[in-house]
Structure 1
Amino acid sequence: MQSSSTEFTNLQPGDQARVKGFGPMPEYYRNRLLSMGLTPGTEFTVMRQAPLGDPVQIMVRGFRLSLRRAEAGTLQVEVL
């Protein structure tokens, strides 16, 4: 199976992806994402999104995490 890179904002519920890295963002927010387990190489599944698209809930390392779509959009991801 071949994987492809995309922006987090293109992912839909049920999609699986891997964190490749981080785009431009404040250092404090990057550190926050890292402390929540979103490190490069980590796989996650998009579980659901709110009716207006924000926030987005993902399953990462066995727990559910809700992220604002704009902030999650700074993640560089690879679709699995």
Structure 2
Amino acid sequence: MRQVGGWDPATGRAHVLGLWSDAGSYRRFMEERHDRVFVGHLPALRARAGLREDLHSMTGHLIPLEPDWRVLPVPAVAAG
């Protein structure tokens, strides 16, 4: 998994893109980590950050990518 993101000071918007190797990896993350962080840590962090004053909305989407459209080279597996 890899994440990239950024902040656009002109619009005041931030974005984060998570790149998962497959749907199973994404499901495992959601089941094993996401809920623990979201339920356990996020409420306190949101309160400390004062998000009610700054955060207008948050959305998420899962978009499958077509493997044949990949432009990055796939690393070769060493013969062993």
Give TM-score scaled by structure 2 length: 0.22
Q: Which structure has the highest strand share of the two?
A: 1
Give TM-score scaled by structure 1 length: 0.22
Q: Which structure has the highest helix share of the two?
A: 2
Determine which structure has greater relative contact order: mean sequence separation of CA pairs < 8 Å that are 6+ residues apart, divided by chain length.
1
* Higher Rg: 2
